[in-house]
Amino acid sequence: MASTSVSRIVPASPARVWQLIGGFGSLPDWLPYISHSGLVEGGRVRRLRSPDGDVIVERLVELNDAERHYSYTIVEAPFPVVGYLSTLRVHEVSGAPDSAEVQWSGRFTPEGEATDDEVIALSTEIYRDGLEALHK
């Protein structure tokens, strides 16, 4: 099993950051890799579409608004991984009420010819680019 985690300090309060990213259907609002998100099954499943037309289906596993985090699994995606579990978290920054630390982490198993290094690099790039876009 492979894993990766990326974190970034964002110049906004944790409450404001969570308001933007805490909705399970909100990825198109801040993640450049996703152009559309539709919620089904009472909001527990999101069907995502990339700008290139790729479809990704993810299932919400846990959502905790009070602690500002949610976890999800990938049900269907064009990525060479199985057993994917990811968590998006917003933390307070001690002494900086107008800043938040956002952490995006995941664990997964490469599938087919993919190596640990390849799938770690892919996920790390998505997480890093997403948090960079959020920062902007």
Q: What pTM was estimated for this model as a whole?
A: 0.94
pLDDT tier at 136, thresholds 50, 70, 90: confident
Question: Looking at residue 124, what is its pLDDT?
Answer: 97
Secondary structure of the chain in HEC code, one letter for each residue: CEEEEEEEEECCCHHHHHHHHCCCCCHHHCCCCCCEEEEEHHHCEEEEECCCCCEEEEEEEEEECCCCEEEEEEEECCCCEEEEEEEEEEEECCCCCCCEEEEEEEEEEECCCCCHHHHHHHHHHHHHHHHHHHHC
Per-residue pLDDT, averaged over 108-131, amounts to 95
Nearest of 39, 70, 41, 36 to residue 53 by alpha carbon: 36
Question: To the nearest whole number, what is the mean pLDDT of the chain?
Answer: 96
